[in-house]
Amino acid sequence: MDKPLFDVAIIGAGVCGAAIARTLSAYRLDIVLLEKEADVAFGVSKANSGIIHGGFHHPAASLKAKLEIQGNLMFEKLHYELGFPFKRVGILVVAFSEEEMKTVTHLFTQGERNGAAGLELCGAERIRALEPKINHDAVGGLYAPGGGIIEPYRFVFSLVECAVNNGCVLKTGFDVAAVRKRGEHFILTARGGEAVSARFAVNAVGLHADAVSAMFDAERFTIIPRIGEEYLLDRGAEAFPRHVLFPVPAKNSKGILVIPTVEGTTMVGPTAVEAGDKEDVSTSAANLDAVFTHAKHLMPSVSRRDIITSFAGMRPALATGDFHLAVSEKSPRLVQVAGIQSPGLTASPAIGEYVKELLKSCGCSLTEKAHFNPALTKIETMRERTPEAMDRLIANDRRFGNIVCRCETVSEAQIVEAIRKGHTTLDGIKFYTRSGMGRCQGGFCTYKILKILARETGGKMTEFTKRGNESFIVTDTLSAAAPGGDGGTP
């Protein structure tokens, strides 16, 4: 049987694949986005610091610097169109000695050369005024008002939703395992046997870009995984800063940061250690100690008592240290998107544009669609609403009155919306709604969410997973013993 034929197959639905898909969905192209996991944003793009970087960390000659600045500037418009959480809170790099101030001055000059707007060199008084709870031993630093914070998974979800609304086909659970060339087409076959055919392909698979490049018989390179551990502190932790706080960077890392997340919690981290195993994202007690020692140096009120969870992400680095975005020389009509470590999240909208131009340069014809819709309908949430606004929502839809996740004030209506948009794993629902992200980490809401999932999809509790594959949550025995109630509106 003939394989469905697409103009472009994008492999990997992290932030890069998602941004590329949305950019291309404005053109008259048949696009397919292929993702091996059960949902999008389940790779590196879910486990990072969520910072929109300020454009001063990388030298002007690098692709990283260019795309970081371009990407940064695209976030207001994207936020307005897509509605994901984003705040331009600004970044402070904090120095504790005159020696460190020399590095700060270098970052300032580098940032100005890169085109970062509004950078300011600060003395001790100014930096304390900007961030009163900072360690008062600080002698000065750099203020970058253009830095910001986003919720990374919500960003990816909204990019993909927009691309799909504009005709892009999304195939999750499609683990590209083999590539054949037939005439002017690539045939991409998944581990399960399903195949699609496309004239152009984009390799945007993060940590596995080396393996997928080899499948195309294209360039040989090695992705070096560098693990980063992060710790999330409870909402209301005293350490919550006004800005993203950076130390003066080390040679291979931006250092341990104190980050105000866009949803009001505090994050500290990440570490930066080369890892042997791309899949091993476990955290360790030894690293916890190091992270908290460094974070407390920046912000003394950072406390281990406030930790609610930890996670680790793996940077997909290349030995060059820079991004590699290019049409393959060995396999024309394949575009390589490799080495996308930090600031990949920041640069992603610019990467979308850059890849569009690369595709054009290798023969992909681009005609704008007459009716591209760049916007999404706003998601209604309950947290941080006035009681009057809550009443109005409940009057329209009483499921807003059933709060399923009490820590993050997530209603049944939001859970149902996530499910109807195709997020049918516990993590997918969590990333879409924030249910299970608070202090109890899902202790109270998991069972209720599973009940709603069963009701909405007609599936059995025992079929649902945390993040796809074999990550089942409920066994038959437990399911039979579970208390009653459908988790729905009383």
Ligand X SMILES: Cc1cc2nc3c(=O)[nH]c(=O)nc-3n(C[C@H](O)[C@H](O)[C@H](O)COP(=O)(O)OP(=O)(O)OC[C@H]3O[C@@H](n4cnc5c(N)ncnc54)[C@H](O)[C@@H]3O)c2cc1C
Taking the least distance from each CB to ligand X, the nearer of 208 and 451 is: 208
CA atoms within 13 A on the CB side of 255: 21
Minimum Å gap between C-beta 37 and ligand X is 5
Minimum Å gap between C-beta 176 and ligand X is 4
If residue 403 lies in a helix (H) or strand (E), which one and from where to where?
strand 403-405
In the set 35, 100, 219, 427, which binds ligand X (CB under 6 A)?
35
In the set 344, 352, 428, 442, which binds ligand X (CB under 6 A)?
344
Residue type, 55: G
446 binds ligand X (CB under 6 A): no
Minimum Å gap between C-beta 51 and ligand X is 3
Q: Which stretch binds ligand X (CB under 6 A): 14-22, 122-130, 373-381, 412-420?
A: 14-22
Taking the least distance from each CB to ligand X, the nearer of 148 and 487 is: 148
14 binds ligand X (CB under 6 A): yes
201 binds ligand X (CB under 6 A): no
Closest by CA position to 441, among listed 339, 350, 348, 311: 311
Rg, the chain, Cα only: 23
51 binds ligand X (CB under 6 A): yes
Q: What are phi and psi of 304, to 5 degrees?
A: -65, -25
CA atoms within 13 A on the CB side of 469: 8
Q: Which of residues 95-134 bind ligand X (CB under 6 A)?
A: none
Taking the least distance from each CB to ligand X, the nearer of 70 and 342 is: 342
Distances (CA, A) of 322 to 13, 24, 62, 152, 339: 21, 24, 7, 21, 7
Minimum Å gap between C-beta 329 and ligand X is 21
Minimum Å gap between C-beta 343 and ligand X is 4
Task: Tally helices (H) and strands (E) across the chain.
Answer: 14, 22
64 binds ligand X (CB under 6 A): no
43 binds ligand X (CB under 6 A): yes
In the set 141, 148, 255, 343, which binds ligand X (CB under 6 A)?
343
**Exposed, middle or buried by CB within 10 Å (0-12, 13-18, 19+), for 441?**
middle
Taking the least distance from each CB to ligand X, the nearer of 100 and 151 is: 151
Q: Which of residues 139-198 bind ligand X (CB under 6 A)?
A: 174-176
243 binds ligand X (CB under 6 A): no
Sign of CA dihedral 328, 333, 338, 340: positive
Taking the least distance from each CB to ligand X, the nearer of 55 and 206 is: 206
340 binds ligand X (CB under 6 A): yes
228 binds ligand X (CB under 6 A): yes
Spell out the residues 6+ positions from residue 387 whose beta carbon is closer than 8 angstroms to its own. none
Count the site residues for ligand X by CB under 6 A.
42
In the set 104, 127, 170, 204, which binds ligand X (CB under 6 A)?
204
SS3 248: coil
Between 267 and 296, how does the x/- string for binding to ligand X read (CB under 6 A)?
---x--------------------------
- The Cα 30–Cα 412 span in angstroms is 35
Taking the least distance from each CB to ligand X, the nearer of 324 and 398 is: 324
49 binds ligand X (CB under 6 A): yes
SS3 69: helix
- The Cα 346–Cα 115 span in angstroms is 15
In the set 6, 24, 32, 53, which binds ligand X (CB under 6 A)?
53
Taking the least distance from each CB to ligand X, the nearer of 345 and 404 is: 345
The catalytic residue among 53, 79, 243, 294 is: 53
- The Cα 270–Cα 249 span in angstroms is 12
10 binds ligand X (CB under 6 A): no
Q: Which of residues 308-337 bind ligand X (CB under 6 A)?
A: 313-315
Minimum Å gap between C-beta 416 and ligand X is 25
Q: Which stretch binds ligand X (CB under 6 A): 49-57, 97-105, 158-166, 375-383?
A: 49-57
Identify whether 53 is a catalytic site residue. Answer: yes
CA atoms within 13 A on the CB side of 93: 27
Taking the least distance from each CB to ligand X, the nearer of 39 and 131 is: 39
216-222 own/partner pairs: CB under 8 Å, 24+ apart: 216/179, 216/186, 216/328, 216/330, 216/331, 216/334, 217/179, 217/330, 217/331, 218/328, 218/330, 218/331, 218/334, 218/336, 219/328, 219/329, 219/330, 219/336, 221/318, 221/324, 221/338, 222/318, 222/319
Q: At what angle are helices 75-82 and 63-73 packed, to 10 degrees?
A: 50
Report whether the peptide linkage leading into residue 343 is cis, meaning its omega lies within 30 degrees of zero: yes
Closest by CA position to 35, among listed 176, 139, 216, 239: 176
- The Cα 33–Cα 17 span in angstroms is 7
In the set 10, 16, 91, 437, which binds ligand X (CB under 6 A)?
16
Minimum Å gap between C-beta 413 and ligand X is 28
User: What residue ranges bind ligand X (CB under 6 A)?
Assistant: 11-17, 34-37, 42-45, 48-51, 53, 174-176, 204-208, 212, 228, 230, 270, 313-315, 340-346
Just list the catalytic residues.
53
